[in-house]
Copies of this chain bind each other. A is one copy, B any other.
Amino acid sequence: MLGRPTLGKPALVLDRYCLNYKRIPYKTEWVEYPDIEPLCKKLGIAPTGQKEDGSGRDHYTLPAIYDPSTGSYVSDSFAIAEYLDKTYPDTPKLFPNDTTALQAVFTEVFRAKLAPLWAFILPSICTILNPRSEEYFRRTREATFGKALEELLPKGEVAVAEWAKYRDALTEVDKWYAKNGGKGPYLLGETFSWGDLVVAGYTVWLRIIWGEDSPKWKDVESWNGGRWKTLIDSLKEYETVV
């Protein structure tokens, strides 16, 4: 697996959750931010979208995986998960119960709900990057937002209101979870699946970035009857970086 050398990029958490859950052996190679695009182009790893600067140019992101048994490179976490289910049908499914289409909807909607979070997160990301990556990350994101990353961080009453928006977004997700029949902590009830990984991956990231004793993480742990903490705790064995 190719990942970025940070402690906390969520997609990376997500993909290692997938690989660990399926008990597929892998090793991680860390790629600094400015090296991602040249490396992907060199290896023929597909772009995962277009750059946000309006240029229409391809945007390359990690993680990506290389599977020596098929000679395939795969990027984009959803595509990686689909690839793994298809290529290793005897491992536990990430998309059980024929739910791939519904999980695609959930993923898109859940990510959109995280919008209030980015202003809190982006300045913090810089604090866990190596200097080459930090310079690249800061320069490209500041060009996109037209201001210093630190200026993005909500302050005072705005911070309270924006943090409440994130809490409210998770509360909407909690209401969906509450429809799962109460048989377990997962979207499908007892059965663990991709959507739970998306929620856990993006949520555990906050603990990784801010630390488990930070007031913000304590907040998240306490929300929605502890649903998010319960979910993340249930996946603890799959968090390990290999």
Contacts and interface: CB of A to CB of B under 8 A. Distances in A.
How many copies of this kind of chain does the complex include? 2
A149 B174 CA distance: 37
Interface residues of A, number: 26
Interface stretch (A47-55, A92-100, A218-226): A92-100
B104 A176 contact: yes
Nearest to A195: B102
Interface string A179-193: 111010001111100
Contacts of A100: 179-181
A183 to B, nearest CB: 8
A97 B103 CA distance: 13
A158 interface: no
A98 B191 contact: yes
Nearest to A188: B98
A177 interface: yes
Nearest to A82: B179
- 6 nearest A-B residue pairs (beta carbon): A97-B97, A102-B102, A101-B179, A101-B180, A98-B188, A100-B179
Contacts of A105: 102, 105-106, 109, 176
